[in-house]
Structure 1
Amino acid sequence: MSAVEADFVIAGGGSAGCILAARLSEDPTASVILLEAGPPDRDMWIHVPMGYAKLFGSGRYDWRYETEPEPGLENRRIHWPRGKVLGGSGSVNGLVFLRGSPRDFDRWAQAGARGWGWDEVEPVFRALETWEGPPSEGRGTTGPVHVCAPKMSRAAAAFIDACANAGLPRNRDWNNGQPIDGAGPVQLNTRRGRRSSTAREYLKPAMGRPNLQVVTGAIATRILVENGRATGITAMTPGGERTYTARRQVVVSAGAIETPKLLMLSGIGDGAHLAEMGIETRLHAPGVGQNLQDHLIAKFILRTSPCGTINEIMRNPFRQAGMGLGYLLARGGPLAIGAGEANAFARVTPGAEEAEVQLLFINFAVLTYQEGLLPHPGIMFNFGQCRPDSRGRITLRSPDIADKPVIRANYLDHPNDVRVMIEAAKLSRRVIEQQPLAGLIEGEIRPGKDARDDDAYLRHIRATASTVFHPCGTVRMGSDDLAPLDPELRFKGIDGLTVADASAFPLIPSPNIQPAVMMLAERAAGFLRRR
Structure 2
Amino acid sequence: MADKYYDYIICGGGTSGCVLAGRLAENIDARILLIEAGPDSADLENVHMVGGWSNNFDSETDWNIVTEPQSSADGRQIKCSRGRLLGGSSGVNGTLCIRGVKQDFDDWKLDGWTGEDMWRCMNKSETFHNKPWFNPSFKDHGYDGPLHLEPHDLAPISELVKQSMIEKSLPLHEDMFATGETSTGCGHALRTVYEGIRTTAADFVSKGYRRDNVTIQTDATVDKVIISEGSNGLRATGVEMITKSGEKITAHARKEVIVSAGAYGSPAILLRSGLGPKEELEKVGITPKVNLPGVGKNLLDHPVCWFFYEVDRPGLTLDHLVHHDQGFASSYKLYKEKKTGVFSTFPFGIFAYTRLDKQLNGDPLWEKAPRWEGRDAMGLTPSQPNVEFFNTEMYGGPKQWVDFPTDHRYVVGMCTVLFSARSRGSVTLRSSNPLENPIVDHQYLADPLDLLVLTQGCQTINNIMTTGSATKDLIKGSWPPRRSHHQYTSRKEWEPYVKETVTTCYHPGGTCKMGQITDPMAVLDEQLRVRGVKGLRVVDVSVMPELNNGHTQSPAYGIGERAAEIIKEDSKKASKL
Query: Shorter-normalised TM-score: what interval?
Result: over 0.9
Asked if 1:343 corresponds to 2:351, the answer is yes
- Partner residue in 2 for 1:45: 46
Partner of 1:235: 241
Letter in 2 for 1:358: E
CA separation of 1:458/1:322 partners in 2, compared to 1, >3 Å: closer, same or farther? same
Correspondence list, 1:17-32, <5 A: 17-32=17-32
1:409 aligns with one of 421, 427, 442: 442
Match of 1:361 among 387, 391, 404: 391
- Tell which deviates more after alignment, 344-353 or 508-517: 344-353
Which residue number corresponds to residue 478 of structure 1? Answer: 515
Letter paired with 1:313 = L
Q: Point out 4+ residue stretches in structure 1 off by more than 6 angstroms.
A: none
SS in 2 for 1:114: coil
Paired amino acid for 2:536: L
Residues of 2 paired with 1:528 and 1:204: CA distance? 24
Partner of 2:146: 144
**1:19–1:203 contact (8 Å) kept in structure 2:** no
Map 1:77-156; keep pairs closer than 5 Å: 77-109=77-109, 113-133=110-130, 134=135, 136-156=138-158
1:499 aligns with 2:538: yes
Q: Could you tell me which residue of structure 2 aligns to residue 466 of structure 1?
A: 503
Alpha-carbon shift at residue 323 of structure 1 (Å): 3.1
1:335-373: CA deviations, max 9, x gaps?
222251211111112376132111121112147525643
Change (3 A) 1:430 1:218: same
> 2:15·2:87 contact (CA, 8 Å) conserved in 1?
yes
CA shift, 1:322, in A, is 4.7
Q: Which moved more, 1:58-67 or 1:467-476?
A: 58-67
Aligned amino acid, residue 48 of structure 1? M
Equivalent-residue separation in structure 2 for 1:105 and 1:248 (angstroms): 29
* Whole-Å separation in 2 of the counterparts to 1:334 and 1:342: 16
Whole-angstrom CA distance in 1 between matches of 2:249 and 2:533 = 22
- Give the gaps of 5 or more residues in structure 1: none
1:527 aligns with 2:566: yes
1:390-423 Cα deviation digits (max 9, x unpaired):
1111111122222221111111122221221111
Secondary structure of the residue that 2:288 maps to in structure 1? coil
Partners of 1:27 and 1:366 in 2: how far apart?
A: 44
User: Within 1, Cα distance between the matches of 2:386 and 2:446?
Assistant: 17
Deviation, structure 1 residue 89: 0.7
1:54 Cα deviation from its structure 2 partner: 3.3
Structure 2 equivalent of residue 267 of structure 1: 274
After TM superposition, list the pairs within 5 Å mapping 1:132-531 onto structure 2: 132-133=129-130, 134=135, 136-173=138-175, 174-207=177-210, 209-227=211-229, 228-238=234-244, 240-304=247-311, 305-317=313-325, 319-320=327-328, 322-328=330-336, 330-338=338-346, 340-350=348-358, 353=382, 354-366=384-396, 368-369=398-399, 372=402, 373-375=404-406, 376-433=409-466, 434-445=468-479, 446=483, 448-479=485-516, 480-531=519-570
* CA-to-aligned-CA distance 1:451-488 (integer Å, 9 cap, x gap): 33222201000011100000000000011232010101
Preserved contact between residue 252 and residue 498 of structure 1 (Cα < 8 Å):
yes
For residue 185 of structure 2, what is the amino acid of its counterpart? G
Please give the secondary structure, in 1, of the residue aligned with 2:140. coil
Give the 3 Å change call, closer, same or farther, for CA 528–421 of structure 1 in structure 2: same
Partners of 2:204 and 2:314 in 1: CA distance: 38
Q: CA deviation at 1:292?
A: 0.5
User: Relative to structure 1, is the Cα distance of residues 119 and 46 closer, same or farther in structure 2, using a 3 angstrom cutoff?
Assistant: same
CA distance in 2, matches of 1:6, 1:358: 43
* Change in CA separation of 1:130 and 1:273 when aligned onto 2, cut-off 3 Å: same
Larger mean CA deviation between 29-38 and 336-345 belongs to: 336-345
**Larger deviation, residues 520-529 vs 438-447:** 438-447
* 1:228-275: CA deviation from partner (whole Å, max 9, x where unpaired): 000011000145100010000000000000110111011100001111
Mark the CA change 1:210 to 1:129 in structure 2 (over 3 Å): closer, same or farther: closer
User: Structure 1 length normalisation: TM-score?
Assistant: 0.95
2: distance between equivalents of 1:520 and 1:120?
Answer: 10
* CA–CA separation in structure 1 for the residues paired with 2:401 and 2:431: 32
Q: Residue 319 of structure 2 aligns to which amino acid in structure 1?
A: N
CA distance in 1, matches of 2:342, 2:183: 26
Task: Name the CA shift for 1:97/1:374 in 2 (closer, same or farther; >3 Å).
Answer: same
Deviates most, 323-332 or 92-101: 323-332
Q: Which moved more, 1:129-138 or 1:456-465?
A: 129-138
Query: How far off its partner does 1:503 sit?
Result: 0.5
Distance 1:163 1:371 in 2: 25
CA distance in 1, matches of 2:474, 2:146: 39
Give the stretch that moved more between structures: 389-398 or 32-41: 389-398
- Cα distance, 1:310 vs structure 2: 3.3
Aligned-residue offset at 1:496 = 0.3
Are the equivalent residues in 2 in contact too, given 1:299–1:383 (CA < 8 A)? Answer: yes
Contact 1:103-1:179 within 8 A present in 2 as well: no
Change (3 A) 1:468 1:500: same
Give the alignment's TM-score, normalised by structure 2. 0.87
Q: Deviations over 1:1-55 (max 9, x none)?
A: 9981100111000001111111111111110000000001121111012221333
**Aligned AA (1:114):** D
Report how far residue 119 of structure 1 moved: 2.2
Instruction: State the match for 2:362 in structure 1.
Output: none
What CA deviation, in whole Å up to 9, does each residue of 1:54-113 have, x standing for no partner? Answer: 334x5441111111111110111111101101100111111011111111111112xxx2
Deviations 1:143-183 (A, max 9, x none): 22122112110011111111112221112002024224311
Q: SS where residue 50 of structure 2 aligns? A: coil
Q: Which is worse superposed, 21-30 or 134-143?
A: 134-143
Alignment root-mean-square deviation, CA: 2.0
Alignment size in residue pairs: 526
- The one-letter code of the counterpart of 1:481 is P
* Paired letter, 1:119: E
**Shift of residue 127, structure 1, vs aligned partner:** 1.8
Equivalent residue for 2:574?
none
Aligned to 1:309, the other structure's residue is in SS state coil
Give the percent of matched residue pairs that are identical in Structure 1 and Structure 2. Answer: 29
Rate the CA distance shift 1:482–1:370 in 2: closer, same or farther, 3 A: closer
Contact 2:485 2:494 in 1 (8 A): no
Q: In structure 2, how many angstroms separate the alpha carbons of the residues matched to 1:349 and 1:314? A: 40
Output the amino acid matched with 1:86: L
Question: Which secondary structure does the structure 1 equivalent of 2:270 belong to?
Answer: helix
What's 1:55 paired with? Answer: 56
Cα distance change, pair 186–395 in 1 and its aligned pair in 2 (3 A) = same
Task: Identify the range of structure 1 (448-457 vs 42-51) with the bigger mean alpha-carbon deviation.
Answer: 448-457
Q: Which residue identity is paired with 1:300?
A: F
